[in-house]
A and B are shown apart, each in its own frame.
Chain A
Amino acid sequence: GAVVSQHPSRVICKSGTSVKIECRSLDFQATTMFWYRQFPKQSLMLMATSNEGSKATYEQGVEKDKFLINHASLTLSTLTVTSAHPEDSSFYICSASSGVTGSNQPQHFGDGTRLSIL
């Protein structure tokens, strides 16, 4: 159980385009979803936290208009990187939790999306 599906797994696109990444919880309802960015051999850096039906809470330094997050249902959250540039190239990972963190509910991670902007 607790499977999180993330698509696409890899994206290569030209500078200036927008890219949408989907994160789905397949066998549980995800009240909270998280979006992370990970550079090679580095830690997971939280970008934003989203609750179903609410606006996402962004971490300091993350541009809201650049990284659009939608959490329209209890099983789907999307991250759209708008007007992507080479510096946006990275590994993006989503995670989902069925409860408020602190209630013994772990975060379950998707397989990540490797984004390359040319």
Chain B
Amino acid sequence: QQPVQSPQAVILREGEDAVINCSSSKALYSVHWYRQKHGEAPVFLMILLKGGEQKGHEKISASFNEKKQQSSLYLTASQLSYSGTYFCGTEGREGAQKLVFGQGTRLTINP
């Protein structure tokens, strides 16, 4: 079942922060985050495994709450290069070999 991302779209000014949520109605083993710019391939950001861990990637970090079956992506002091559509991909069990992607969150960063 497709995870639900919120918000669907967000517009920020450079330097502002944003949070993107990814929720599933089913238990999750892992959550993967990707960013896709228009006309380009999705680019891998990070993977979070169950256990409530939090990861960071420059000014982009994420958390995973397996009890809530939810992951959040945090973008701090956003840069123009952060613009794009963010997708979470969820894996229901270890070894599932496939991800189910959310519908995406379109992030626009204005100067």
Interface string of B52-70 (1 = CB under 8 A from A): 0000000000000000000
Q: Given the interface contacts A43-B87, A44-B87, A44-B101, does A104 sit within 8 Å of B41 by beta carbon?
A: no
- Find A101's partner among B2, B41, B99, B103 (CB 8 Å cutoff): B99
Number of B residues near A (Cβ < 8 Å) is 28
Q: 29 A-B contacts, Cβ less than 8 Å apart?
A: A2-B44, A4-B41, A34-B98, A44-B42, A44-B87, A44-B89, A44-B101, A45-B101, A46-B98, A46-B100, A93-B41, A100-B97, A101-B30, A101-B96, A101-B98, A101-B99, A102-B30, A102-B91, A102-B96, A102-B97, A104-B49, A107-B32, A107-B89, A109-B42, A109-B43, A109-B44, A110-B41, A111-B40, A111-B41
Which residues in A have some Cβ–Cβ distance to B below 8 Å? 2, 4, 6, 32, 34, 41-46, 49, 51, 93, 95, 100-104, 106-112
